[in-house]
Amino acid sequence: MEEDRGVTVLSSRIERWQLRRGDHIYAWRTGYSHHGIYESDEKVIHFTSASAQSSGFFSSSSSAAFSSHSKCREAMRGGGVVVCCLDCFLEGDNLCLFAYSVSMAFAALSNIGAQDTCSVVDEDPPDTVLRRANDFLDYGGFRSYNVAGNNCFHFAYYCKTGREYLSPQVVLSILAYVITYVILSKDIEKGYCEGSLARTSICLFYALRKFIYSS
């Protein structure tokens, strides 16, 4: 929990002097947030797409006066898991901390927007987090960038926890599948849903309708 650094349900903003090695940090751009793993003021490891770098998408800072360092621009060329200094990562925007090990109540109140700002999952020790991030930086392997399913947030979350991130939508889909299976289980045992895909689909449809209207 990061209450000692001033993180609340209303704000995840922190000051630079509060940063610690292995922190999962992010900065709000125009319409999205960009995430990374902090090692030092000279080294933030993050995940970007090649197309975003070449098009300047990750330079859509809210600070028009910001100009990235040439060394960092070169290091980030081509996308993938890249490194830059803290200034170039933030691009003049506010520094935010993604908190871990928060309570269920804290997470429910904080994660009411389009993007999560904290997690109830425990974080791993800083050395473990940085080893993962640096391994991806040195050897690659964090799959292809996908803005919806494998982006900068998924990278930082995996480095912090060693787990794949499950979005609320995925969790709800799994829950719906389990509920549907429970509803169908008796019919499956009787053989009503065996056979063709069409028959199974019909059973699934009526089971879902039964669940919705009985809720």
| Domain ranges (residues) in the chain | 3-165, 170-214
Within 10 angstroms of residue 33's Cβ, the number of other Cβ atoms is 18
Average of per-residue pLDDT across 44-68? 62
CA distance 45 to 37: 5
Question: Could you give the percent of the chain with pLDDT greater than 90?
Answer: 41
Calculate mean pLDDT across residues 126-139: 96
The arithmetic mean of pLDDT across residues 64-77, rounded, is 73
The arithmetic mean of pLDDT across residues 149-154, rounded, is 91
Q: Taking the model in full, what pTM does it have?
A: 0.73
CATH code, residues 3-165: 3.90.1720.10
pLDDT tens digit sequence for 166-182: 755 555 555 666 666 66
Catalytically annotated residue among 24, 35, 46, 154: 46
Active site annotation includes 152 = yes
pLDDT at residue 211, rounded to an integer: 53
Name the most confidently modeled range: 17-21, 51-55, 70-74, 180-184: 17-21
Round to whole Å and give the CA distance between 145 and 79.
9
Within 10 angstroms of residue 158's Cβ, the number of other Cβ atoms is: 20
More confident residue, 25 or 32: 25
Q: What is the mean pLDDT of the chain?
A: 79
Q: Where are the alpha helices (DSSP H) in 68-103?
A: 70-75, 86-90
| pLDDT at residue 49, rounded to an integer | 85
Q: pLDDT grade, residue 34 (50/70/90)? A: very high
36, pLDDT greater than 90: yes
User: How confident is the model over 83-99, as a mean pLDDT?
Assistant: 94
pLDDT at residue 52, as a whole number? 57
Residues 40-61 as b/e (b if ≥16 CB within 10 A, e otherwise) read: eeebbbbbbbeebbeeeebeeb
Q: Which of 96, 152, 159, 203 is catalytic?
A: 152
Quote the percentage of the chain above a pLDDT of 70: 66
Structure tokens at 56: 């300047």
